[in-house]
């Protein structure tokens, strides 16, 4: 880290990016967030300052508490699930079998599928009546499942769909990290007679902390902000079982004519995300 004589140098490097960030990201963010303390009056179109009224009414709203629960529950499952699978896939794709480039290529394909497209494709695949997956289940002698139509399976189905698209992407970041781990480290540890698991714990994992931090933080943020599958597939149902906070915020903004509520929800989400990310940074801090 350098201290420069001319103190303007760092700011000049930051200038172009911050010009863009300030104008097109931070200004809209701030003006949106200010709305969480305002309400728009009907007919007169006057904006009235209401302080924390939007937050207070959220805390008295069972729909909000349910959404908060669903969001935390969803993230509690999907983040470890995706990270574990991505790590496993990265390990698999790091093996020395001959056709590995081919298999790597295949796992990269879903990355190019946009979330709405993935959602619509899987919706048809998972259709409870004669969907392809159910047809396969029936052909295998199992009973058809309701998937997205049941409050006990809908959230899990969305976890699966999002992971179908996401795991390959995140695995590529981790795969890259794995390739950096010097083979000599493995050789040294196997000379000591370490088992595969000990090798993973003492060599692979510590060397992977940096890429893992990147992936863990990105996965967390991405999944906190994920609502397109719920919007397209379930609209938050059945029985509110997939009604994540961002979907509730989206509905408030665009269907319920209530921008104040929508932005208040987002502020709460931002606080939660920040806390989770801070914890993740701490846990994964590389020891230098």
Sorted by sequence, the CB contacts under 8 Å of residue 46 that are 6+ apart come out as 40
Among 37, 194, 273, 284, binds other proteins (CB under 8 A): 273
Burial call 11-31: b when 16+ CB within 10 Å, e when fewer: eeeeeeeeeeeeeeeeeeeee
Among 74, 75, 87, 168, binds other proteins (CB under 8 A): 168
CB of 73 to other proteins, least distance (A): 19
Q: 3-state DSSP call for residue 267?
A: helix
Q: Which is nearer to other proteins, 32 or 77 (CB)?
A: 32
Instruction: Please state the length of the chain.
Output: 288
CB of 17 to other proteins, least distance (A): 4
Does the footprint of other proteins cover residue 56 (CB under 8 A)?
no
**CB-based contact 71:223 (threshold 8 Å):** no
Sorted by sequence, the CB contacts under 8 Å of residue 233 that are 6+ apart come out as 119, 122, 123, 148, 154, 157, 158, 161, 242
Site string for other proteins, 105-144 (x = CB under 8 A): xxxxxxxxxxxxxx-xxxxxx-xxxxxx-xxx-xx----x
**Cα gap 204→197, rounded to integer Å:** 10
Q: Which is nearer to other proteins, 211 or 229 (CB)?
A: 211
Does the footprint of other proteins cover residue 41 (CB under 8 A)?
yes
CB of 185 to other proteins, least distance (A): 10
CB of 75 to other proteins, least distance (A): 13
**CB-based contact 104:90 (threshold 8 Å):** no
Q: Which is nearer to other proteins, 159 or 266 (CB)?
A: 266
Element spanning 39, H or E:
strand 38-40
Half-sphere exposure in the Cβ direction for 121 (13 Å, CA): 12
CB of 61 to other proteins, least distance (A): 7
Does the footprint of other proteins cover residue 38 (CB under 8 A)?
no
Does the footprint of other proteins cover residue 27 (CB under 8 A)?
yes
The site that binds other proteins (CB under 8 A) totals a number of residues, namely 127
Residues 148-167 that bind other proteins (CB under 8 A): 149-150, 164
Does the footprint of other proteins cover residue 59 (CB under 8 A)?
no
Element spanning 199, H or E:
helix 196-199
Residues 68-97 that bind other proteins (CB under 8 A): 89, 92, 95-97
Among 51, 101, 191, 197, binds other proteins (CB under 8 A): 101
Among 76, 270, 275, 279, binds other proteins (CB under 8 A): 270
**CB-based contact 33:267 (threshold 8 Å):** yes
Among 70, 83, 208, 230, binds other proteins (CB under 8 A): 208
């Amino acid at each position: 880290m350098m201290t420069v004589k001319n103190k303007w140098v760092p700011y000049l490097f930051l200038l172009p990016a911050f010009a863009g960030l300030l104008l097109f990201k931070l200004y809209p963010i701030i003006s949106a967030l200010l709305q969480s303390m305002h309400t728009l009056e009907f007919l007169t179109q006057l904006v009235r300052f209401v302080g924390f009224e939007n937050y207070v009414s959220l805390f008295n709203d069972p729909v909000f508490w349910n959404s908060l629960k669903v969001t935390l529950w969803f993230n509690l499952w999907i983040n470890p699930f995706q990270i574990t699978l991505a790590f496993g896939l990265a390990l698999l794709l790091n093996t020395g079998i001959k056709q590995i480039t081919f298999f790597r290529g295949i796992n990269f394909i879903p990355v190019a599928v946009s979330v709405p497209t993935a959602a619509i494709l899987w919706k048809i695949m998972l259709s409870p009546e004669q969907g392809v997956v159910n047809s396969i289940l029936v052909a295998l002698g199992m009973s058809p499942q309701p998937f997205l139509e049941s409050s006990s399976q809908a959230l899990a189905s969305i976890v699966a769909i999002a992971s179908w698209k996401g795991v390959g992407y995140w695995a590529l970041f981790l795969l890259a990290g794995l390739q950096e781990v010097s083979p000599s480290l493995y050789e040294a540890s196997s000379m000591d007679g370490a088992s595969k698991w000990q090798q993973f714990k003492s060599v692979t994992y510590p060397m992977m902390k940096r890429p893992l931090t990147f992936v863990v933080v990105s996965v967390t943020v991405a999944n906190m902000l994920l609502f397109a599958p719920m919007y397209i597939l379930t609209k938050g149902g059945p029985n509110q079982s997939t009604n994540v906070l961002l979907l509730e915020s989206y509905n408030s903004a665009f269907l319920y004519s209530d921008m104040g509520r929508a932005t208040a929800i987002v502020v709460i989400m931002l606080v939660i995300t920040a806390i989770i990310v801070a914890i993740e940074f701490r846990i994964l801090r590389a020891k230098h």
